[in-house]
Amino acid sequence: MPSLTARISLNKAGNKSFPPRRIVLGVTGSIAAYKAPEIVRGLVKMGFETRCVLTPKAKEFTTSLTLATLSHYPPVENENESRLWEMAHLSLASWAPVLLIAPATADFIAKLAAGFGDNLLLALALAFKGKIIVCPAMDGGMWEHPATKRNVETIRQFGYEIWGPETGELASGKIGSGRMVEPQTMFERIKSLWSVEKIRTRKAR
Ligand SMILES: Cc1cc2nc3c(=O)[nH]c(=O)nc-3n(C[C@H](O)[C@H](O)[C@H](O)COP(=O)(O)O)c2cc1C
């Protein structure tokens, strides 16, 4: 998996002197997808151009209209248009240095681990040239299941970063592990990711 710095040379459209402030946000069908607009809003406020890619199930938990309004760009979501498949593979895969998948369901993580490509976000993850960050969000039982543990370990070995989950109140009202890392924590980590890369890029000159 190339580092952000390495990705600079891969991103032809980006600013060569620095990893471009671009992020692709992948949203999957977790109840935590209601926080996707907050993530987009925060990223845009931080100066990131943001593109959203939704799984078919994600659309039941958040709306394209909200994400389009906040990101100033329509989400990629229509599975049946060849133009969009082309976009996912040829453009978005090398458009941004980071693909942030938040929230990531147990189902989606299993498919990532198995190498499935049967929706646009999965296909994008397979084709993506930069860093992939996965923020799991699920019920405590799902998170603790050995299958999920194995799948998370598998994608970690692919070089994907796993942020969270946190322990706290879950959608069920129970306290447990599986709560998506808070958007504010994502923003802090993204900020430091870019500043570390800035320092590295400067030293490399
Ligand atoms: C109300 C509701 C909430 C759900 N929340 C979660 C969740 O937080 N995490 C999870 O892993 N699955 C959750 N699911 C199950 C997923 O939606 C389901 O596994 C789906 O196939 C995920 O599709 P995707 O990963 O392609 O987006 C929920 C389902 C429903 C009906």
Instruction: Give domain status of residue 16, yes or no.
Output: no
| CATH code assigned at 186 | 3.40.50.1950
**If you average pLDDT over residues 47-61, what whole number do you get?**
95
Higher pLDDT, 174 or 83: 174
Q: For 126-130, 175-179, 201-205, which range has the lowest pLDDT when averaged over its residues? A: 201-205
Task: Find the mean pLDDT for residues 140-169.
Answer: 96
Q: Is residue 15 domain-resident?
A: no
User: Could you tell me if residue 184 is inside a domain?
Assistant: yes
User: Helix and strand tally (H, E) in the chain?
Assistant: 9, 7
How far lies 78's CA from each of 22, 56, 74, in Å?
Answer: 22, 8, 11
Sheet holding 161-162, edge to edge: 49-54, 22-27, 98-104, 131-136, 161-162
Cα 94 from Cα 10, distance rounded (Å)? 7
**Residue 113 burial (C-beta neighbours within 10 Å; 0-12, 13-18, 19+):** buried
Residue 14 lies in a domain: no
List, in order, residues 6 or more apart from 196 with CB less than 8 Å away: none
Residue 42's closest CA among 189, 199, 168, 205? 189
Query: Closest ligand 1 atom, CA of 108?
Result: 25
Q: Domain limits at 169? A: 4-9+21-204
Ligand 1 pocket by Cβ (under 6 Å): 28-32, 55, 57-58, 105-108, 137-138, 142
pLDDT band at 26 (very low <50, low <70, confident <90, very high): very high
Total domain count, the chain: 1
CA 109 to ligand 1: nearest atom:
25
Task: Give me the helix-helix angle, 183-204 and 36-45, nearest 10°.
Answer: 40
Burial grade of 12 (CB within 10 A; 0-12, 13-18, 19 or more): exposed
Separation of CA 31 and ligand 1 centre (Å): 7
Spatial separation of the C-alpha atoms in residues 176 and 17, rounded to whole Å? 43
At 74-129, the pLDDT tens digits run 898 866 677 777 766 678 999 999 999 999 999 999 999 999 998 999 999 999 99
Tell me the chain's radius of gyration from C-alpha atoms. Answer: 16
Q: What is the pTM of this model?
A: 0.89
* Residue 60 Cα to ligand 1 middle (Å): 10
With a pLDDT cut of 90, the percent of the chain lying above it is 68
Once rounded to an integer, what is the mean pLDDT over residues 50-65?
Answer: 95
Summarize pLDDT for 112-123 with one digit per residue, the tens. Answer: 999 999 899 999
pLDDT at residue 148 tops 50:
yes
Query: Would you say residue 155 lies in a domain?
Result: yes
Query: Which amino acid belongs to residue 73?
Result: Y
Residue 82: CB atoms within 10 A of its CB come to 7
- Strand-pairing partners, residue 131, are 98
